[in-house]
Amino acid sequence: MNIFKTLAAGTALAVAFIAAPAAAQDGTRIALVVKSLGNGFFEAAHRGAQEAAEELGDVEIIYTGPTAPTAEGQIEIITSLIAQNVDAIAVSANDPDALVPILQRAMDRGITVISWDSGVAPEGRQVHLNPSSNELIGRMCLQLAADHMENGEGNFAILSATSTATNQNIWIEEMQSQLADFPGLNLVDIVYGDDLADKSYREAQGLMTNYPDLDVIVAPTTVGILAASQAVADADRIGEVYVTGLGLPSEMAGAIDSGATKSFAIWNPIDLGYSATMIAYNLAAGNATGEPGSEIDMGRMGMLTVGENGEAAMAEPFVYDASNVHEFASIF
């Protein structure tokens, strides 16, 4: 995992303009469209985008997203970005299909479109950047669940984001397809907290009520894992029910300290925002094609090889536990 320089975080709707030698005559405007504002994961990705903009030169980052994680909110924002004639749109999608028509309109206007983190269907973008390999993420979540059980045996449930979130559904499918490799694990339920803290909290409460013998809640979402950890603590079930999945060190350090979780994983969201910006820029500047088998320069993250359907993976997930969580909590 890369150790990177810490940059000052902007406000949720900040627009950064970094003046330097331009690669495009009038500068390049890249819109980083996130699932929702106020999410620490995406705010960290924004920091990475700002870092990339500083390196590239005359680049403006427009960081934006809806207040709630809906496709309708993203469509409204993308419509406005098309009217502004931005150079590139890099979106973490709330729905893989609903955004396709508006993103096709953007591409018809000559705007570069990529998706990152949570994908758009291939016809609605040029490249999709997965934060990691879907297969590895699914296996990691199962391994984390097993690590929280005695002899790797017990009951677990999945607390996801929205039922239409592309990345969440792919990871859940990977977990289900690889369950045979973890014979001690018994999946009892899959619930959805819609990436809202209050609903995720209630869903975690419901899992503990409905399944008295539940051992682990796996939440492959930063909002869900934090809410579930709080629900376990409030129910006085620490040591009986563990929470794991994908979370931010800055938000999950307390859960490690309390014992609500022993370990969790995440890729580096700053690296993800940085990489998405580099990809969008190089496509918009004509430095890359995005064709399968081609490469795209991601700066300090190295060269990205584009795979089938225009998809590529950035890096493997990284595990955080008591030995390292506080070190990274000060960064993101």
pLDDT band for 331, please (50, 70, 90 cuts).
Answer: confident
Q: Tell me if 142 sits within 8 A of 178, measured CB to CB.
A: yes
Q: What pLDDT score does 10 carry? A: 34
Contacts of 326 (CB under 8 A, 6+ apart): 249, 253
For residue 234, the tally of other CB atoms under 10 A from its CB is 12
Q: Is the pLDDT of residue 7 over 60?
A: no
pTM: 0.79
DSSP secondary-structure letter at 316?
Answer: -
Instruction: Taking the CA atoms of 322, 323, 329 and 330 in sequence, report the sign of the dihedral they define.
Output: positive
Q: Is the pLDDT of residue 116 over 60?
A: yes
Q: Tell me if 63 sits within 8 A of 49, measured CB to CB.
A: yes
* 15-130+268-314 and 134-266 in the same fold: yes
Amino acid at the residue 151:
N
Q: Quick one: 134-266 is in which CATH superfamily?
A: Response regulator (3.40.50.2300)
Q: Is the pLDDT of residue 1 over 60?
A: no
The residue ranges of every structural domain in the chain are 15-130+268-314, 134-266
Q: What is the pLDDT of residues 297-311, one digit of tens each?
A: 999 999 999 999 999
Q: What pLDDT score does 260 carry? A: 98
Q: What is the pLDDT of residues 17-37, one digit of tens each?
A: 333 333 334 799 999 999 999
Q: How far apart are CA 174 and CA 39, in angstroms?
A: 25
Q: Quick one: 15-130+268-314 is in which CATH superfamily?
A: Response regulator (3.40.50.2300)
Q: What pLDDT score does 80 carry? A: 98
Q: What pLDDT score does 296 carry? A: 98
Q: How far apart are CA 157 and CA 18, in angstroms?
A: 45
Q: What pLDDT score does 330 carry? A: 85
Burial of 108 (0-12, 13-18, 19+ CB in 10 A): exposed
Average pLDDT, the chain: 92
